């Protein structure tokens, strides 16, 4: 199932289903992708998903492009981003976000504010920390 290009809010399956994004108040060259507190402004959790090559997508937030950095997911301002594979799991009602060779996936160990999104090898049975919701936003 392909994902339509557009603006999205990405939330985790972990309770209470917080959004992931960045802290838009800081603008260094790179910022970690985190669980954003609910009081953050919308630009901290509004993602643009751009279809790049078939099933690969570029994920940008507040003009920063995401890519892996060791075992974390960071957003880089003014630099190239990674293409990610978005895999739908209909029975789990969510998506995994994988690197192109599908060896590692976005993972959240918990849903606390400021928890950083990690990159981990996929497990045989996907825990909730690997699953994300893609909620398309309507311009208006």
Q: Where are the domains of the chain?
A: 6-136
Nearest residue to 59 via CA among 138, 1, 3: 3
Task: State residue 135's pLDDT score.
Answer: 95
Contact 29, 78 (CB under 8 A): yes
pLDDT in tens, 77-115: 999 999 999 999 988 889 999 999 999 999 999 999 999
CA 138 to CA 55: how far, in whole Å?
22
What pLDDT digit, counting tens, does each position of 3-34 carry?
A: 999 999 999 999 888 999 998 887 788 999 99
To the nearest whole number, what is the mean pLDDT of the chain?
A: 92
The domain defined by 6-136 folds into Trefoil (Acidic Fibroblast Growth Factor, subunit A) (2.80.10)
pLDDT of residue 139: 63
Longest dimension (CA), the chain: 41
Q: What does the alpha-carbon distance between residue 6 and residue 91 come to, in Å, rounded to a whole number? A: 24
**Backbone φ and ψ of 136, nearest 5°:** -70, 135
Percent of the chain with pLDDT over 90: 79
The candidate with the shortest Cα–Cα distance to 48, out of 74, 66, 26, is 66
Q: What is the pLDDT of residue 134?
A: 96
Residue 140: band (very low, low, confident or very high) from pLDDT cuts 50, 70, 90: very low
């Amino acid at each position: 199932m392909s994902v339509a290009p557009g603006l999205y809010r990405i939330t985790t399956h972990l309770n209470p289903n917080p959004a992931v994004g960045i802290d838009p108040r800081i603008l260094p060259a790179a910022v970690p992708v985190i669980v954003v507190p609910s009081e953050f402004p919308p630009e901290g959790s509004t993602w643009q998903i751009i279809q790049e090559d078939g099933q690969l997508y570029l994920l940008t937030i507040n003009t920063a492009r995401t890519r892996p950095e060791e075992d974390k997911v960071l957003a880089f301002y003014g630099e190239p981003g990674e293409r990610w594979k978005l895999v739908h799991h209909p029975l789990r009602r969510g998506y995994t976000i994988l690197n192109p060779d599908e060896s590692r996936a976005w993972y959240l160990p918990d849903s606390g504010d400021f928890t950083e999104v990690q990159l981990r090898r996929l497990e045989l049975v996907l825990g909730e920390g690997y699953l994300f919701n893609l909620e398309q936003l309507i311009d208006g």
